[in-house]
């Protein structure tokens, strides 16, 4: 009977030791599995970090907003522009109508086919012209008249004009006899203008 009890005790003790060993083995296996899982996670994290670094290094260069637009716009001095350039500092002369006042105060009006530049050239030539008395009829009062030749700055052609001064000495007309659309009408500021600007005309009356 004692032997049976002793065997029973030994059997129980052996089972207890076996159970403890199994638990220790399971704990060791769990610890090893946890360590392996942690190692894999660390390796995966390092791999992701390496990929991000590589993508930063090998990625496309950032595009500055507006850079392509600025490159496409032509510079102010670009000769490739299709817009024709105008000559700086030179504007087309007006043709026909009022052309302003001269430095002496005379008002110029160009005929319909006459530019203001040409009207000014006619006026300047007439100031130095030689005038002679002219009458349309024996009974008419003679008026000063001169023949001048002036080159147009517009077409470089020469025109022959007749200039006559009105009986009141307050106006002058210079007209191309072959084309009456070419010429200038001059309004003097006052009757004393001839004394200052065209003394040769007054000599006709004094002579």
List pLDDT tens digits, range 67-117: 444 444 444 444 443 333 333 333 457 899 999 998 888 999 999 999 999
Domain ranges of the chain: 95-206
Task: Assign 149 a pLDDT band (cuts: 50, 70, 90).
Answer: very high
Map residue 76 onto helix, strand or coil. Answer: coil
From residue 143, alpha-carbon distances to 15, 135, 140, 201 in Å are: 158, 6, 9, 10
| Core vs surface per residue 144-159: b (16+ CB within 10 A) or e | bebebebebeeeeeeb
Which are the contacts of 182, defined by CB distance < 8 A and separation ≥ 6?
111, 113, 114, 118, 159, 161, 175, 176
In this prediction the pTM is 0.54
Which residue stretches of 59-161 are H helix?
67-72, 116-127
List pLDDT tens digits, range 21-49: 444 444 444 545 554 555 555 555 455 55
- Are the beta carbons of 113 and 181 closer than 8 angstroms? yes
Strongest mean pLDDT among 3-7, 87-91, 116-120, 193-197: 116-120
């Amino acid at each position: 009977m004692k032997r049976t009890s002793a065997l029973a005790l030994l059997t129980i003790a052996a089972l207890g030791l076996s159970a403890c060993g199994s638990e220790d083995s399971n704990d060791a296996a769990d610890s090893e599995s946890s360590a392996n899982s942690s190692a894999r996670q660390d390796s995966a994290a390092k791999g992701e970090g390496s990929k991000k670094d590589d993508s930063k290094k090998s990625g496309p260069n950032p595009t500055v907003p507006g850079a392509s637009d600025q490159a496409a716009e032509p510079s102010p001095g670009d000769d490739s522009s299709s817009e024709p350039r105008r000559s700086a500092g030179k504007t087309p002369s007006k043709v026909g109508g009022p052309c302003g006042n001269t430095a002496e105060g005379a008002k110029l009006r160009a005929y319909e086919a006459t530019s203001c530049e040409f009207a000014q050239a006619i006026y300047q030539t007439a100031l130095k012209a030689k005038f002679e008395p002219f009458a349309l009829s024996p009974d008419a009062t003679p008026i000063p008249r001169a023949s001048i030749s002036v080159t147009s700055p517009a077409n470089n052609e020469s025109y022959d004009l007749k200039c006559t001064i009105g009986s009141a000495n307050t106006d002058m007309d210079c007209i191309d006899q072959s084309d009456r659309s070419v010429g200038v009408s001059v309004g003097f500021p006052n009757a004393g203008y001839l004394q200052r600007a065209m003394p040769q005309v007054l000599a006709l009356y004094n002579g």
